[in-house]
Amino acid sequence: MEKKVERQKRVAAIHDISGFGKCSLTVALPILSAAGIETAVMPTAVLSTHTGGISGYTYRDLTEDMTSFAGHWKSLDIKFDALYSGFLGSFEQLNIVEKIFDCFRETGNIVYVDPVMADNGELYKIFPQEFPSGMRKLCKKADIVVPNITEAALLVDEPYRDGPYDKKYIESLLVKISDIGPEKIVLTGVFFDSKELGAATYDRTTGEIAYGFANRIPGYFHGTGDVFGSALLAAYLNGFDLKTSAQIAVRYTAASIKRTFDAKTDIRFGVDFERSIPSLLKDLNIIQV
C-alpha cells in the first residue's frame, strides 16, 4: 500500500542575518529545514555579526525592502503555515511586520512572535525606549509569543525582577502577556533554584500552565533564544502540543549549550546547535535510531 505523503509545512521567517555568531536566520533556517519544514526568509537587516557583546559590526537596515518583498510573495499566492518574526531591524518594521501578518493570515495558520528586544534586565542598546510599546502592539496579532523574562516584563510594563522566581510571579506574567492578545505564551529563562533553567507555557483556551527544565549551565550563551524558538516551532509544526514542544526545545537548547560549555568556546559566538540536530530529530520522531 502506498504511504500517504503529508503536505510539507511552510514558514516565513522574518529575522536579521548576522553573518557570524549563530542567531536569528542562521539558526532558524537550519533548524526548521532539518525538521522538514520549508523556510522562506525575509531578512530584516544584514549584519557582519550580532550586536551582543561584539563591537564594530556592519549594519544594513532592510526596512525599505520588506513591503515589496512581501508584495512579490503575495503576487505568487504563496501561503504559510506559520509567520515567525524575531529580531527586527528598525522601529518602523514593527508596523510593516504587522501588515505582513495581516496580508498572510489564513484560517488555521500561526502567527509566532519572538519579541526579541532585551535580555538580562536591559533593552538592547540599538532599540529606542518606545520599542517595547511597539512590540506590545505587534504581539496583539500573535497566536504564540516566546519572550524571555526581561521581554515579558517590558511587554507588561513592569520593572525587571532578578531570579530565582516563584510560580506566582511566573504565572502572573504568563496571564498578563496573554491579556495583550496571544492565546499561547512560552516564557523562557525561568528558574526556581540554581540547579535548573527552562521554560513555562500557558494556553489560555485550556488554562493549562506547564514547565520544562534542564540542568543549568553557568554563563550567558548568545543566540539561545533563537535556538529555543526555532526548535519549539519545529516541534509544534510537526504536531506536538505546546508543552511538549517547549520540553523538546528546552532539551535541545540545553544539549547545545552543554556541548559549547564543554568545548570552552567564546560564549558570544553562539552555541553548537548543529551537532544536537540528530537528537532533536529523534525527539521529533523524524528519525529513529
Intra-chain end-to-end CA distance of the chain, in Å: 25
Interface with ligand PXL in residues 71-100 (CB under 6 A):
87
What is the contact mask toward ligand PXL in residues 111 to 130, using x (rule: CB under 6 A)?
A: -----x-------x------
Instruction: Kindly tell me which of 227 and 238 has the beta carbon lying closer to ligand PXL.
Output: 227
Instruction: Kindly tell me which of 53 and 71 has the beta carbon lying closer to ligand PXL.
Output: 53
Instruction: Kindly tell me which of 101 and 127 has the beta carbon lying closer to ligand PXL.
Output: 127
Residue in 155, 146, 119 with CA at minimum distance from that of residue 228? 146
List Cβ neighbours of 39 (8 Å cut-off, separation of 6 or more).
Answer: 10, 11, 13, 28, 29, 32, 33
**Across the strands, what pairs with 201?**
186, 210
Interface with ligand PXL in residues 14-43 (CB under 6 A):
16, 18, 23-24
Among the listed ranges 145-153, 165-173, 218-226, 275-283, the one in contact with ligand PXL (CB under 6 A) is 218-226
Instruction: Kindly tell me which of 24 and 238 has the beta carbon lying closer to ligand PXL.
Output: 24
- H helix and E strand count, the chain: 9, 11
Task: Name the percent of the chain in helix, strand, coil, to the closest 5.
Answer: 40, 20, 40
| Contact call for residue 223 and ligand PXL (CB under 6 A) | yes
**Across the strands, what pairs with 185?**
145, 202
**What residue ranges bind ligand PXL (CB under 6 A)?**
16, 18, 23-24, 47, 50-52, 87, 116, 124, 223, 225-226
